């Protein structure tokens, strides 16, 4: 397979203008990953969750720090600037730490599905199995929070060839699984209208700290530059900036204060930006821009010729 064919080519130049509510230039959202990694995950032949034989207590504790410490610091920082989170949720958290889920639910945070555990991968699942897993996560979030799940990010970014079409089939509105753009885009799958929602690998805290080796302050500087460019370009047509984070990384004592700076930076620019949640961006896009975008993209109809 050369191309999953789930979206069309769409050059960034001269697109129909996206207008966010209040004529804001940039839709800004923060995605805390609230995840659970199992001490004894099931074996998956395609990928091993831990570096050492179970129990890999060093790496397990590294992740668990987020749920004991980091998330509480992060919640406080977000609250300070009244920025709602859009949570990428390992839904097993509803069972393991319901008080944390209830806390952020009461703060008006949105939840989207990030699978059951971040140590249970979709690799190797057939279509029916993946569908069952997805439906379970929708039902579990509903039961715990009352929220209808709108979005998805595959656990540990493990996809199958069916993932995107299953999202449309099950009534999801957005997918954070694709990294091709800084604006939302309609996805070419039958079923519920489904939008690709800009998330980010490049400004993900995991990449910043574990791949690029940035200092806490350097990460904040990267985020500010990302913000500045997308805000500037949003003057032409509305852009989206997501800050995808993990409390076990940014919630550390040496990182939370520098990280708070980007939240303050966003707050200082709130006349120009729409501080919001992914589901609200999807709603606005579906209601105002989805149809125009589909028509516009069609004219670039590149083929997958071999």
Which residue from 86, 160, 173, 220 is in contact with another protein, where contact means CB under 8 A? 160
Instruction: State how far the Cα of 208 lies from the Cα of 218, in Å rounded to an integer.
Output: 9
Report strand pairing: 185-186 vs 195-196: antiparallel
Instruction: State how far the Cα of 236 lies from the Cα of 284, in Å rounded to an integer.
Output: 18
Which residue from 17, 52, 268, 300 is in contact with another protein, where contact means CB under 8 A? 300
CB 263 within 8 A of CB 241: no
Which residue from 57, 58, 107, 161 is in contact with another protein, where contact means CB under 8 A? 161
Which residue from 30, 226, 245, 263 is in contact with another protein, where contact means CB under 8 A? 226
Our finding on whether 148 is near another protein (CB under 8 A) is no
Element (H, E) at 263: helix 256-268
Q: Which stretch binds another protein (CB under 8 A): 55-63, 76-84, 177-185, 258-266?
A: 177-185
Q: Which is nearer to another protein, 190 or 301 (CB)?
A: 301
Our finding on whether 33 is near another protein (CB under 8 A) is no
Which residue from 38, 130, 182, 260 is in contact with another protein, where contact means CB under 8 A? 182
Q: Report the length, in residues, of the chain.
A: 306
Q: Which is nearer to another protein, 73 or 120 (CB)?
A: 120
- Bridge partners (DSSP) of residue 87 are 111
Instruction: State how far the Cα of 68 lies from the Cα of 85, in Å rounded to an integer.
Output: 18
User: Residue 76 has which token pair?
Assistant: 């406080």
The DSSP-derived string for 79-92 is: HHTTPPBEEEE-TT
Min dist. Cβ of residue 11 to another protein (A): 5
State residue 9 phi and psi, 5-degree precision.
-65, 140
| DSSP-based three-state secondary structure for 304 | coil
CB 226 within 8 A of CB 218: no
Is residue 190 exposed (0-12), middle (13-18) or buried (19+ Cβ within 10 Å)? exposed
Which residue from 201, 217, 257, 291 is in contact with another protein, where contact means CB under 8 A? 201
Our finding on whether 212 is near another protein (CB under 8 A) is yes
Find, among 98, 138, 147, 99, the residue nearest to 115 by Cα. 138
Q: Which is nearer to another protein, 49 or 70 (CB)?
A: 49
Our finding on whether 126 is near another protein (CB under 8 A) is no
Our finding on whether 43 is near another protein (CB under 8 A) is no
Our finding on whether 204 is near another protein (CB under 8 A) is no
Hey, how many other C-beta atoms are within 10 angstroms of the C-beta on 242?
Answer: 22
Which residue from 102, 225, 235, 291 is in contact with another protein, where contact means CB under 8 A? 225
Min dist. Cβ of residue 157 to another protein (A): 5
Our finding on whether 163 is near another protein (CB under 8 A) is yes
Which residue from 147, 218, 236, 288 is in contact with another protein, where contact means CB under 8 A? 218
Our finding on whether 51 is near another protein (CB under 8 A) is no
Min dist. Cβ of residue 146 to another protein (A): 31
Instruction: State how far the Cα of 114 lies from the Cα of 86, in Å rounded to an integer.
Output: 12
Interface positions with another protein (CB under 8 A) = 1-4, 9-13, 46-47, 123, 157-161, 163, 177-182, 201-203, 212-213, 218, 222-223, 225-226, 228-230, 233, 241, 300, 302-305
């Amino acid at each position: 397979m050369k191309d999953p064919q789930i979206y069309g080519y769409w050059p960034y130049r001269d697109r129909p203008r996206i207008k966010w509510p209040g004529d804001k230039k940039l839709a800004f959202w923060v995605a805390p990953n609230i995840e659970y990694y199992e001490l004894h995950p099931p074996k998956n032949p395609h990928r091993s969750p831990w570096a050492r034989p179970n129990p890999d207590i060093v790496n397990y504790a590294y992740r668990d720090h987020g749920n004991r410490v980091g998330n509480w610091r992060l919640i406080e920082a977000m609250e300070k600037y009244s920025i709602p989170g859009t949570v990428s949720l390992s839904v097993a958290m509803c069972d393991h730490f319901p008080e944390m889920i209830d806390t952020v639910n009461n703060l008006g945070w949105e939840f989207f599905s990030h699978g059951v555990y971040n140590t249970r991968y979709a690799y190797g699942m057939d279509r029916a199995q993946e569908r069952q897993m997805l439906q379970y996560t929708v039902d579990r979030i509903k039961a715990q929070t009352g929220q209808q799940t709108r979005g998805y990010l595959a656990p540990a970014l493990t996809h199958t060839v069916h993932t995107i079409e299953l999202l449309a089939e099950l009534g999801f509105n957005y997918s954070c699984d694709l990294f091709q753009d800084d604006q939302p885009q309609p996805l070419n799958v039958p079923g519920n209208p489904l939008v690709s929602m800009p998330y980010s690998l490049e400004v993900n805290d995991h990449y910043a700290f574990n791949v690029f080796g940035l200092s806490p302050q350097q990460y904040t500087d990267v985020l500010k530059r990302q913000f500045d460019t997308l805000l500037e370009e949003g003057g032409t047509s509305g852009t989206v900036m997501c800050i995808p984070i993990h409390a076990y990384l940014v919630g550390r004592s040496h990182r939370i204060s520098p990280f708070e700076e980007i939240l303050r930076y966003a707050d200082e620019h709130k006349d120009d930006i729409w501080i919001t949640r992914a589901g609200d961006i999807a709603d606005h896009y579906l209601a105002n821009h989805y149809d125009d975008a589909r028509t516009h993209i069609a004219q670039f109809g590149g083929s997958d010729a071999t």
